[in-house]
Amino acid sequence: MPDHRMDESAAVTRRILVTGAQGFLGRYLVAHLLGAEPASEVLGLGRSPRLEDAFTHSLQWGASRLEAPLPEELRGALHSPRYHYVSLDLLRQPELTGLLMDFRPHRIFHLASGLRDAPPDHLFRTNVEGTISLIEAIREAGIEPPRLVLGSTGFLYGQVEPDVLPIRESTPCVPIDLYGVSKLAAENASRILARRYDLPAIWARIFNLVGPGQEERHFCGRLTSQAAAIAAGLLPPLVEVEPLTATRDFLDVRDAASALELLAAHGTPGHIYNVASGVESPVAQVFDSILRHAGLEGRVEIDLKAARPADIPRYVADITRLRSLGFAPACPLERSLADLLRYYHGPVTDAARRRVRPPHRATVRAAVEADSAHRYEVEVQAGLLEQLPGRLRGLYPSAQMVILTDPRVLALYGTRLVEALRAMGLEVGLALLPEGERSKSPEQYLELIEQLHALHFDRRALLVNLGGGILCDVGGFLAATYMRGVAYVNVPTTLLAQLDAGIGGKVAVNMPWAKNFVGAFAHPKAVFCDPVVLATLSGRELSAGVAEAIKVAIIGSPELFELLETESATIRSGKDPRVLGEVVGRASELKIAMLAPDPYERNLRRVLNLGHTFGHALEVQTGYDRLLHGEAVGFGLAVATAVARRRGCCSQNTLERIFRCLDAYGLPPRVARSDLLAACGRLEEIRLVRGRSLNFVLPTEIGAVEIVAELSDGEIDRALEDIAAHPTLGKSVGEDECGHSDSISAAANS
């Protein structure tokens, strides 16, 4: 094979650029280059800010999530004066071109990549467009063509027949998901451009990496995290694992870094190289090794999860081409697994001890982008209600205003607000909506239309919705339809409203056969949340509100879920506005992030429907007046979790955490078994609203969900039986109507 070594003297500094430098492989590659090439200068690129002591991903340690700390072997290297880091998106091509002109690298390692489960637009933007942008920037910079090693993945070979193993670089690529498609597209595009611009490019198809600090979406990281936490007494002796039938080609991340350097120095431009160990390892044996290293052999139960759709039965690479350059793995798999376990017992344990929760914020502000012409602020601040008159006058100095509220909120806050606004010289009227879910009706809506008309409310006026979720829903629908639409703001006064109805612009009234059947999307001009007002709520109302926070946490925030677990007593008391404000703030920020790509819910499969599919059916079944909305959502969360467990989508540990969290807030309340079963028959109306599909949201872990198009009634029936038999939530399934009514009354008086 021809020798392609660079003709450089040792005295000349070799400048090396690494993209994706703060990722798992990127960190190890940078450290290896700094150690192996004393005359080198390394510049790392990435989208994230520079992190001194951690990877960009997080890890699970027991019930907590932590920033993944750097192993000690990386810390010193990355503090070298020969290492520099720049936060720069590769798609910002003019800035990238300027950086290349200044740095003039001799070698470039391109490792920046989208994750396998990222949305399609992100995958193609990062993997394909980012690669093209880098190569175009090299050309535009006019520099001496650098040796270019382009990181790819062994996963793009797709399903390979056993008689084709081991996989050679010439094996046809048949990707089985969009991640593989995007990586193959990036290879093809870069090959065309490298040939066009005469760049010495090499492609590295990297197989299954393992080592200290790896992300837990990978097999070894996920299982070692659990084993270490069980050994430390942080988790029960139950290991969650997919079917252990596959084989993989595992390579230590340190060997992968060495292989990449070898490719840059000696690889043949235009060639593809498999970067792997060349050893086929059954994952069942790897699992046994992890338990053995953790001292857990024969001491754990196995919780079998469903196989992932993209799982491939057998995978092993032919690394003859890489071996011809002198490559030989230095770290056997057993050592890699032992080092990974020591990482959890060392740096991860230390990081957990040092962990300090961020202080609760006094004010949280976020903005909803409804569309290019409508952006509105959501503000969470203790004492905000006292400032509201001045804020409204500042925003709408000459507008007529009508305060829409209910009799209870009128006595607590409404009268003072009206008087304060009138004292400022504003024209202010008052409209009243009776309390209770039955007020969310077409009849009450028409009554409010008449009230606004009697107050001479015109299209330039402002409606101020001051109250709970029902009032925000009805008031928003009123604003959406009165005179074809008028401006409104929400001032939610219940936890449920601050977390749910006050934000998002989904406004509606109920019909006898379905909840929210008549409605619209109409976003407010602003949302003002004051957690101080939550102190006036009953324990039942607070718990019902927390159901929405639990929902949001399950969807996408393990940190919020942990806060709800650890602060349940404080939250249920309603007396600490700092903690309540943090719950509202975190949940609102996450909900707003979910709203951003779809503010008008044109995609009816939105994950925010978690718990609402069965919850809405249960509300209809119980006549809108026996359950609070959040209580029904709580039952919906329990049902979704039980279904997910039955399907193998989530682990038993995930189910137990969700059930315990619900129970800590008295959720769900006791409901007659007959009502629960009858609610299944109400799902047909939800199918009608959602285009003949339930689009049922199921939790897969704390912080992640998936959507399935359909469930059978039998699945929900079995989920209800599982809830009834559960030692924590079994009490929520009653045998008769009397038991249900008594429990609701007791909850109302708590």
Rg (CA), the chain: 29
**Phi and psi dihedrals of 525, rounded to 5?**
-85, -25
Task: Tokens for 585, please give them.
Answer: 């703030």
Q: What is the mean pLDDT of residues 744-750?
A: 35
Instruction: Report d(CA 565, CA 63) in Å as an integer.
Output: 10
* Predicted pLDDT of residue 398: 83
* Predicted pLDDT of residue 489: 93
DSSP annotation of 329? -
> Does some domain include residue 351?
no
Q: Is the pLDDT at 48 greater than 70, yes or no?
A: yes
* Predicted pLDDT of residue 7: 40
* Helices H / strands E in the chain, number of each: 29, 28
* Predicted pLDDT of residue 672: 93
* Predicted pLDDT of residue 117: 76
Q: End of a domain among 485, 518, 535? A: 535
Instruction: Report d(CA 244, CA 236) in Å as an integer.
Output: 21
> Does some domain include residue 236?
no
Residue with tokens 């304060």: 420
Task: Report the range of poorest mean pLDDT among 206-215, 244-253, 334-343, 727-736.
Answer: 727-736
Domain count along the chain: 3
Strands (E), 470-565: 487-492, 506-511, 514-521, 526-529
- The boundaries of the domain holding residue 156 are 14-211+250-278+316-330
- 263 or 612, which is more confident: 263
Instruction: Report d(CA 306, CA 314) in Å as an integer.
Output: 18
Q: What is the mean pLDDT of residues 329-352?
A: 95
> Does some domain include residue 554?
yes
Task: Tokens for 385, please give them.
Answer: 């209600």
* Predicted pLDDT of residue 10: 42
How far is C-alpha 455 from the chain's CA centre? 46
* Predicted pLDDT of residue 434: 92
Q: What is the mean pLDDT of residues 49-60?
A: 90
Instruction: Report d(CA 29, CA 13) in Å as an integer.
Output: 18
**Do 25 and 134 sit in the same domain of this protein?**
yes
Q: What is the mean pLDDT of residues 618-635?
A: 89
**Do 388 and 515 sit in the same domain of this protein?**
yes
* Predicted pLDDT of residue 666: 95
Q: Give pLDDT tens digits for 655-679.
A: 999 999 999 999 999 999 999 998 8
**Do 562 and 703 sit in the same domain of this protein?**
yes
DSSP annotation of 167? B
**Do 541 and 507 sit in the same domain of this protein?**
no
CATH of the domain at 732: 1.20.1090.10
Longest dimension (CA), the chain: 91
Task: Tokens for 581, please give them.
Answer: 């404000």
Q: Is the pLDDT at 696 greater than 90, yes or no?
A: no
Q: Is the pLDDT at 8 greater than 50, yes or no?
A: no
Work out the mean pLDDT of the chain and round it to a whole number: 88
**Is residue 11 very low, low, confident or very high in pLDDT (cuts 50, 70, 90)?**
very low
* Predicted pLDDT of residue 437: 82
User: Which range scores top for mean pLDDT: 332-341, 497-506, 555-564, 728-737?
Assistant: 332-341
List, in order, residues 6 or more apart from 76 with CB less than 8 Å away: none
**Do 594 and 690 sit in the same domain of this protein?**
yes
Task: Count the neighbouring beta carbons within 10 Å of the beta carbon of residue 642.
Answer: 26
**Do 451 and 431 sit in the same domain of this protein?**
yes
Q: Is the pLDDT at 746 greater than 60, yes or no?
A: no
List, in order, residues 6 or more apart from 518 with CB less than 8 Å away: 442, 477, 508, 509, 511
DSSP annotation of 165? P
**Do 167 and 259 sit in the same domain of this protein?**
yes
Q: Is the pLDDT at 85 greater than 90, yes or no?
A: yes
**Do 33 and 129 sit in the same domain of this protein?**
yes
Q: What is the mean pLDDT of residues 597-604?
A: 53
List, in order, residues 6 or more apart from 8 with CB less than 8 Å away: 14, 106
* Predicted pLDDT of residue 635: 96
Alpha helices in 648-732 (DSSP H): 652-664, 673-680, 683-689, 713-725
* Predicted pLDDT of residue 601: 56
> Does some domain include residue 290?
no
**Do 564 and 490 sit in the same domain of this protein?**
no
CATH of the domain at 191: 3.40.50.720
Surface-to-core class of residue 29, CB atoms within 10 Å of its CB (0-12 exposed, 13-18 middle, 19+ buried): buried
**Is residue 623 very low, low, confident or very high in pLDDT (cuts 50, 70, 90)?**
confident
**Percent of the chain clearing pLDDT 70 (strictly above):** 91
Q: End of a domain among 535, 559, 581? A: 535
- 592 or 454, which is more confident: 454
Q: End of a domain among 482, 512, 535? A: 535
**Do 122 and 269 sit in the same domain of this protein?**
yes
Surface-to-core class of residue 585, CB atoms within 10 Å of its CB (0-12 exposed, 13-18 middle, 19+ buried): buried
C-alpha distances in Å from residue 410, one per residue of 422, 434, 670:
15, 11, 32
Q: Give pLDDT tens digits for 513-549.
A: 877 788 888 889 889 999 888 888 888 999 999 999 9
> Does some domain include residue 348?
no
Task: Report the range of poorest mean pLDDT among 54-68, 242-256, 405-419.
Answer: 54-68
Cβ atoms of 622 and 535 within 8 Å: the answer is no
* Predicted pLDDT of residue 285: 96
Buried b / exposed e along 39-51 (16+ C-beta atoms within 10 A): ebbbbbbbbeeeb
* Predicted pLDDT of residue 361: 60
- 623 or 355, which is more confident: 623
C-alpha distances in Å from residue 3, one per residue of 264, 267, 271, 391:
12, 8, 14, 73
- Does residue 668 have a cis peptide bond before it, meaning omega lies within 30 degrees of 0? yes
**Do 518 and 605 sit in the same domain of this protein?**
no
Cβ atoms of 143 and 97 within 8 Å: the answer is no
* Predicted pLDDT of residue 603: 52
Q: What is the mean pLDDT of residues 364-392?
A: 76
* Predicted pLDDT of residue 103: 95
- 305 or 327, which is more confident: 327
Per DSSP, what are the bridge partners of residue 708? 696
CATH of the domain at 487: 3.40.50.1970
Q: Is the pLDDT at 303 greater than 50, yes or no?
A: yes
Buried b / exposed e along 169-196 (16+ C-beta atoms within 10 A): bebebebbbbbbbbbbbbbebbeebbee
* Predicted pLDDT of residue 210: 98
**Do 498 and 543 sit in the same domain of this protein?**
no
> Does some domain include residue 342?
no
Q: Give pLDDT tens digits for 13-29.
A: 799 999 999 999 999 99
